[in-house]
A and B are shown apart, each in its own frame.
Chain A
Amino acid sequence: MPFKKFVEIGRAAYLADGPEAGKIAAIVNVIDQNRVLIDGPTSGVIRQAYPMKQIHLTPIRVKFPFNAPTKIVRKELEANKVNEQWSASTWSKRLEMKKRRANLTDLERFMLRKAKTARNKIVAKALNAKKRELRKAGKL
């Protein structure tokens, strides 16, 4: 399996853990084996060192020179519409969905359950009708 995402200057990373968890930022420089310098001016992340264990690499990549100042990073992130790319991605949508699911109220959970049973009833009904039809025709 070849690697597709690399820790490199300009790679957008999703911060999975730590003080800025849940936001995305761009990698500006590599400090050493365990830390990178990240900066996310368009997503509210201050320029800081971040442990590599707490970042997940995204497929989004932007071009700027290493150690670029925040102004340049912001310009490139905005020009490439990184925030829009991120929120349009399935990954970020799934994260939002998980967060929504985790924060359901009791009433919402009840409504979800009722909606699921209603849907499953329709599906089962259609499935059984199809099965009956095929059985009558000799399980074609």
Chain B
Amino acid sequence: MKANGTLKEYRVIGRKLPTEAEPVTPLYKMRIFATDPVVAKSRFWYFLRQLRKFKKTTGEIVSVEEIREKNPLKVKNFGIWLRYDSRSGTHNMYREYRDMTVNGAITQCYRDLGARHRARAHSIQIIRCETVAASKCRRPLIVQTHDSKIKFPLAKRVQRPSGSLVKANRPPTYFQ
């Protein structure tokens, strides 16, 4: 999978095709984060194959629904449990992100893993993603924003490079 742009959350429900031996088959639901419904269905089958004994040819997808964020204006702490393949092994991780939507947090996670661990999207499996109460957050970078009277200056403001390559004076970094 290529995690292009912001990922969307899909609720994919599928089941094994009913046979004479098994006329009613249970439905399985998965929360898939993908770029579009096509990729979502593909990822659904990818995971389902690993977990249950049926695949795309012996099963059917009952529904694919995009799940919108219920409260996109509320800042939340997201805890993401995931599993990824590094160059020499596969590891579990728990990461925290602060965002307004699940999609934003998961996308941040993919980007972060790509940056910090060079993990490609296809080697990342999101196991679980939940909003975490502020008191239960573990990562210091997230916990430091849990301050109702938060206050900090914008200390060093780096401007975008503009003008000539060679300048007489250093650009100013103190401006608000």
Whether A8 touches B151, Cβ cut-off 8 Å, given contacts A31-B100, A49-B100, A57-B176, is yes
B98, B148, B154 interface centre (most CB from chain A within 10 Å): B154
Chain B residues whose C-beta falls within 8 Å of the C-beta of A1 in the assembled complex:
174
Q: State A36–B100 Cα separation when bound (angstroms).
A: 11
Chain B residues whose C-beta falls within 8 Å of the C-beta of A67 in the assembled complex:
74-75
Choice from B75, B149, B176 contacting A56 with Cβ under 8 Å: B176
Whether A6 touches B152, Cβ cut-off 8 Å, given contacts A30-B145, A31-B75, is yes
5 A-B pairs with least C-beta separation: A3-B153, A8-B151, A5-B176, A57-B176, A32-B98
Chain A interface size range? 20 to 34
Within 8 A of A (CB), among B137-176: 141-142, 145, 148-155, 174-176
Chain B residues whose C-beta falls within 8 Å of the C-beta of A49 in the assembled complex:
100
A residues near B (Cβ < 8 Å) are: 1, 3-9, 29-33, 37, 47-49, 52, 56-57, 65-67
B residues near A (Cβ < 8 Å) are: 73-75, 97-100, 141-142, 145, 148-155, 174-176
Choice from B97, B99, B150, B175 contacting A30 with Cβ under 8 Å: B150
**A5-B176, A6-B153, A8-B152 are known contacts; what are 11 more A-B pairs with Cβ within 8 Å?**
A1-B174, A7-B151, A7-B152, A8-B149, A9-B149, A31-B99, A37-B75, A37-B100, A57-B154, A66-B150, A67-B75
Q: Are B148 and A66 in contact (CB under 8 A)?
A: yes
Q: State A48–B151 Cα separation when bound (angstroms).
A: 19
Q: State A6–B142 Cα separation when bound (angstroms).
A: 20
Chain A residues whose C-beta falls within 8 Å of the C-beta of B151 in the assembled complex:
6-8
Q: Are A5 and B153 in contact (CB under 8 A)?
A: yes
Chain A residues whose C-beta falls within 8 Å of the C-beta of B176 in the assembled complex:
4-5, 56-57
Chain B nearest CB from A86 CB (Å) reads 15
Whether A31 touches B98, Cβ cut-off 8 Å, given contacts A5-B176, A37-B75, A67-B75, is yes
Q: State A37–B99 Cα separation when bound (angstroms).
A: 10
Q: Which residue of A lies closest to B142 (CB)?
A: A32
Q: Which residue of A lies closest to B152 (CB)?
A: A7
Q: State A32–B73 Cα separation when bound (angstroms).
A: 14
Q: Which residue of A lies closest to B157 (CB)?
A: A53
Q: State A66–B145 Cα separation when bound (angstroms).
A: 12
Q: Are B73 and A47 in contact (CB under 8 A)?
A: yes
Q: Which residue of A lies closest to B158 (CB)?
A: A53
Q: Which residue of A lies closest to B155 (CB)?
A: A3
A4, A9, A31 interface centre (most CB from chain B within 10 Å): A31
